């Protein structure tokens, strides 16, 4: 099958049955290969999980070899929101393709992303017609709270992890997101990683893995 987004697929070893999927969304200027590094440790503990790492649907102007989910070259919140919804629609189509190809439901799928990929995961996790198994976001934020509240359809359980020394996306955004989730009756867990800037350290990866194991075992 041809998918609407170029992707890296990391299937279970020894042709094990695919029972779950983790869709990993890279950050601004990155690609599927970057974010696929998370699977190196996780897959040992998730033998029936396929890891899917798509490239953003647009090339990134600041890194021609990388991709973006939405443009950040204009300091215009309305434009950014418009472009992010465009990406969200593309990702929604991609998720439907994944579900059809691997015979999965939303409850079998974890959405996870870093930075801009985290922002997309949060949006898709709340605006989809059916809730996902969970959302795990690293170093991101809610793009537009008013818009997200108006389009919210479901309450996907969410874990947000952020570095306390992040100079790219302030950790204050995690606290703002936590408040949003609580006010809108979405189960939320947050972790602030000490002495961590804008990346995913081993500690954050381990916290995320434990969360996924708990959620997949309960589905």
DSSP string of 99-115? Answer: HHHHT--GGGEEEEEET
pLDDT of 64 over the 90 cut:
no
pLDDT of 66 over the 70 cut:
yes
Kindly report, residue by residue over 119-150, the tens digit of the pLDDT. 999 999 999 999 999 999 999 999 999 999 99
Kindly report, residue by residue over 75-89, the tens digit of the pLDDT. 899 999 999 999 999
The pLDDT score that the predictor gives to residue 219 is: 67
State how far the Cα of 196 lies from the Cα of 166, in Å rounded to an integer: 7
The pLDDT score that the predictor gives to residue 1 is: 83
pLDDT of 68 over the 70 cut:
yes
Structure tokens at 75: 């300091």
The pLDDT score that the predictor gives to residue 31 is: 98
Kindly report, residue by residue over 164-200, the tens digit of the pLDDT. 999 999 999 999 999 999 999 999 999 999 999 999 9
pLDDT of 15 over the 80 cut:
yes
Q: What is the CA radius of gyration of the chain?
A: 16
Here the contacts of 78-86 (C-beta below 8 Å, separation 24 or greater) are 80/143, 81/143, 81/144, 81/147, 84/119, 84/120, 84/123, 84/143, 84/144, 85/147
Regarding pTM above 0.85, the answer is yes
State how far the Cα of 216 lies from the Cα of 84, in Å rounded to an integer: 28
> Residue 123, SS3?
helix
Our measurement of the distance from residue 132's CA atom to the centroid of its chain's CA atoms, rounded to an integer in Å, reads 11
The pLDDT score that the predictor gives to residue 218 is: 78
Q: Enumerate the domain spans of the chain.
A: 7-217
Beta-ladder partners of 190: 160
Question: In CATH terms, is domain 7-217 a member of 2.40.50.1070?
Answer: no
Mean predicted lDDT score pLDDT of the chain: 97
Our measurement of the distance from residue 95's CA atom to the centroid of its chain's CA atoms, rounded to an integer in Å, reads 12
State how far the Cα of 177 lies from the Cα of 181, in Å rounded to an integer: 6
Structure tokens at 140: 């991101």
Q: Are 219 and 130 in contact (CB under 8 A)?
A: no
Structure tokens at 55: 């490239």
State how far the Cα of 51 lies from the Cα of 74, in Å rounded to an integer: 33
Catalytic annotation, residues? 115, 166, 198
């Amino acid at each position: 099958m041809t998918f609407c987004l170029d992707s890296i697929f990391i299937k279970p070893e020894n042709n094990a049955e695919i029972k779950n999927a983790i869709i990993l969304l890279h950050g601004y200027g990155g690609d599927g290969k970057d974010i696929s590094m998370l699977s190196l440790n996780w897959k040992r503990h998730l033998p029936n999980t396929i890891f899917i790492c798509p490239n953003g649907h647009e090339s990134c102007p600041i890194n021609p070899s990388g991709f973006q989910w939405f443009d950040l070259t204009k300091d215009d919140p309305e434009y950014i929101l418009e472009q992010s919804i465009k990406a969200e629609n593309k990702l929604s189509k991609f998720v439907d393709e994944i579900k059809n190809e691997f015979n999965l439901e939303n409850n079998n799928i974890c959405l996870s992303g870093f930075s801009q990929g985290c922002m997309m995961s949060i949006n898709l996790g709340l605006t989809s017609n059916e809730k996902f198994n969970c959302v795990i976001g690293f170093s991101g934020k809610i793009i537009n709270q008013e818009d997200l509240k108006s389009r919210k359809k479901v309450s996907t359980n969410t874990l947000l992890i952020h570095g306390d020394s992040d100079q790219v996306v302030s950790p204050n955004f995690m606290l703002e997101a936590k408040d949003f989730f609580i006010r809108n009756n979405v189960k939320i867990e947050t972790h602030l990683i000490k002495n961590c800037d804008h990346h995913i350290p081993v500690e954050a990866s381990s916290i995320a893995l434990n969360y996924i194991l708990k959620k997949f075992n309960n589905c």
